[in-house]
Every structure is written in C-alpha cells, then in structure tokens.
Amino acid sequence: MKFDIMTLFPEMVENYFNFSILKRAIDADIIEISTVNPRDYTENKHKKVDDIPYGGGAGMVLMAQPYVDAYEDIIKSDSCVTVMLSPQGEPLTDKLVNEFAQYKQMILLCGHYEGFDERIREIIKPKEISIGDFVLTGGELPALCLIDAVSRKLEGTLGKIESADEDSFSNGLLEYPHYTRPREYRGLKVPDVLLNGNHKEINEFRLEQSIKRTKERRPELYEKYKKENGK
Ligand code: 4H7
C-alpha cells in the first residue's frame, strides 16, 4: 500500500517510519511512504500557501491551488482513498481502519493554521476523519496514527507473535493485563494461573479480565460486546 502524506512540514513525519515494525514493513515492501509538500506546487513567487480569511477573523487559511494541484499530481491508483484529518471529521474506528486497509493508495491531507479553504473539500472530496475530540496544531500526528493503524492490518506487517486478532477491538474487548519476569516485583506477584501451564485456564482467566476491564472502563463497549455475543 502506498501512502502519500500531503504536508507543509515533511520532516515532522519522515522519521516515524525509520523504526520498529513500520520500518520492517517498508523493508518488506508491504508499505511505501511519500511526502508531498504543497509549497512545491505554489504558483506565486513567494511560495505562499496561506492567506487571510475572507470575512475577516484571526489566523490564516490554506489556499486551494497548491493543495488541488499537488493532489492531482499524486493520485495514481484507481484504488485510492483520500483522507483529510480534521477535528470535524468522522471519528476513527477499527471498522474504518479495516476499510482503508483494502485500498492500494491512500492520500492524507494535513492541515495547519485555521484550516483549509473550503473549495479544497469541494474539489478533492476527501473522507474527513478525526482521531478524537480534541484540537491539534496540525494534521500530521493524526495522519501518522491512521497510517500506523492501517499498516498493522496489512498481511505480513505483524509477525505471528504480534498478531492483530488478539488485540482490543478485534473481539470488541479491552486487552487483559500482561506480565513478564520477575515473578514478584515490589511485593506484587504475577497471578498463579499464568504460571501453571494450563492454557485452557489461562485463556479463561484472560477473557474474564478483559470483560472486567471493559465493563469498568468502557461500559458502552461492554454493552455492545454482550449484544454481539448473545448475552
Ligand atoms: C484541518 C482543519 C485533526 C486540520 C483544521 C487535525 C485535530 C485533529 C487541522 C485544523 C487537527 C483530530 C488547525 C484547526 C489548527 C485548529 C488551531 C489540524 N486537530 N486545525 N487549528 N482530532 N488540526 O483528528
């Protein structure tokens, strides 16, 4: 899958992919990342990408021309989805992440300042996505979140060991608690059931812990889980 990140600050995002699992995914040709700077598509001599808002008010608005031209230059695949990260977008879910993972190309529009000239939305018609109800200074972090979440769904990105099917949300529950050595730390012991090698008992314990956590922390997820599992 090819990801094209449209950003005025490519260096903000480039290093993220040089580490850990996503680096491995790039080396294995499962994902490919490019950044595209709308500033390189400006048609004015000062390479201006923003201007003052019509109607007045504080701040600057991103101009349509550099974004539309950059977009038209990079859209290659007919299996392409374009996403604008914004506080006004549809909340990102595991279901949407799975849908995005079906495409061959994903273009991500990162905003700054007061946001985009509305005609960028009217022409490009991106899917507008939010990673949560809070405001950030730019769309780069949400774009990285989305690429990360989509990449780990692609065949071959996660090893057998890191497999995505045991994670929170694949079964609709939060993850159970994890422990590693030592068996006792500052007087806190690892639950005995995890040491006895009985995998049926261990799975039962973990499911019970997942359910308990979900009920306490995310009652609305727990209700959904109950319905979907006929309880
Ligand atoms: C598009 C339009 C996403 C993108 C406006 C992006 C939160 C999220 C941005 C804006 C984002 C999220 C620019 C409006 C900065 C506010 C101070 C970038 N913030 N911003 N202004 N929740 N910001 O996914």
What is the CATH classification number for the domain harbouring 220? 1.10.1270.20
| pTM recorded for the entire structure | 0.96
CA of 125 to the centre of ligand 1 (A): 17
CA of 25 to the centre of ligand 1 (A): 28
pLDDT score for 165: 66
pLDDT score for 231: 75
pLDDT score for 75: 95
Domain assignment present for residue 203? The answer is: yes
Residue nearest to atom 1 of ligand 1 (CA): 86
Domain assignment present for residue 160? The answer is: no
Does one domain contain both 99 and 141? yes
Into how many domains does the chain fold? 2
Domain assignment present for residue 110? The answer is: yes
Residue 73 belongs to domain spanning: 2-152
Does one domain contain both 109 and 199? no
Does one domain contain both 129 and 176? no
Does one domain contain both 144 and 221? no
User: What would the pLDDT profile of 31-88 be if each residue is shown by its tens digit?
Assistant: 999 999 999 999 999 999 999 999 999 999 999 999 999 999 999 889 999 999 999 9
pLDDT score for 4: 98
**Which residue positions in the chain have pLDDT lower than 50?**
none
pLDDT score for 164: 61
Residue nearest to atom 9 of ligand 1 (CA): 111
153-160: long-range pairs with CB below 8 Å, 24+: 153/97, 153/98, 153/101, 154/1, 154/25, 154/30, 154/31, 154/101, 155/30, 156/25, 156/28, 156/30, 157/21, 157/22, 157/24, 157/25, 157/28, 157/30, 157/31, 158/21
Does one domain contain both 111 and 23? yes
Domain with residue 70: its CATH number is 3.40.1280.10
Could you confirm whether 114 is annotated as catalytic? yes
Residue nearest to atom 5 of ligand 1 (CA): 115
CA of 164 to the centre of ligand 1 (A): 29
To test the pocket of ligand 1, the residue of 60, 67, 86, 114 to mutate (highest count of ligand atoms within 8 Å of its CB) is 86
Could you confirm whether 40 is annotated as catalytic? no
Domain assignment present for residue 106? The answer is: yes
Domain assignment present for residue 161? The answer is: no
